[in-house]
Amino acid sequence: MNQIPMTLKGAEKLREELNELKSVKRPRIIASIATAREHGDLKENAEYHAAREEQGFCEGRIQEIEAKLSNAQVIDVTAMPKTGRVIFGATVTILNVDTDEEFTYRIVGDDEADFKQNLISVNSPMARGLVGKSADDVAIVKTPGGDVEYEVLKVEYL
């Protein structure tokens, strides 16, 4: 399987979620199933079926996280050489050439991406257009509305 790029923060968040699922949610679901079993006939026991369904989702998420962590390529951007180029994990400030709007984004792995927090996936069109650029370079990002030009103002390795 391919390696999945991930920042230190992203890997830590996944480990925390995995720990929560295994040590808190899984035992709670098992207790719910046991309680529902005590109510009698399992064929018509909605509580039992709901708990079993929740258990399936929980176990699926545990397997998914374990697979991602086993294939994770954890990248610490602070330990990378400061080349001034946009790379995975870098925080980049850009200027939309047409509208003069300024944006700051951090390029992260797919699981960490959250546009509301200015975290964009390394596989997004925006990140693909920015990777490899340096300050004062112009990046052309292909969007559904057409190509948009951005000037790279600053690249930081935070």
pLDDT digits (tens, 9 = 90+) for 30-73: 999 998 888 877 777 888 899 999 999 999 999 999 999 999 99
Q: What is the mean pLDDT of the chain?
A: 90
pLDDT digits (tens, 9 = 90+) for 129-138: 999 998 889 9
Task: Quote the distance between the C-alpha of residue 136 and its chain's center.
Answer: 28
The yes-or-no verdict on residue 9 having pLDDT over 70 is yes
- Taken in order of first residue, the domains within the chain and their CATH numbers are 2-73 (1.10.287.180), 83-154 (3.10.50.30)
> Could you tell me the pLDDT band of residue 104, with boundaries at 50, 70 and 90?
very high
Give the C-alpha separation, 38 to 119, whole Å. 47
Give the C-alpha separation, 132 to 140, whole Å. 12
pTM surpassing 0.95? no
| pLDDT average, residue stretch 129-148 | 89
> Could you tell me the pLDDT band of residue 1, with boundaries at 50, 70 and 90?
low
Structure tokens given for 49 = 């079926």
Give the C-alpha separation, 157 to 4, whole Å. 20
> Could you tell me the pLDDT band of residue 105, with boundaries at 50, 70 and 90?
very high
**CB neighbours of 67 closer than 8 A, spacing ≥ 6?**
1
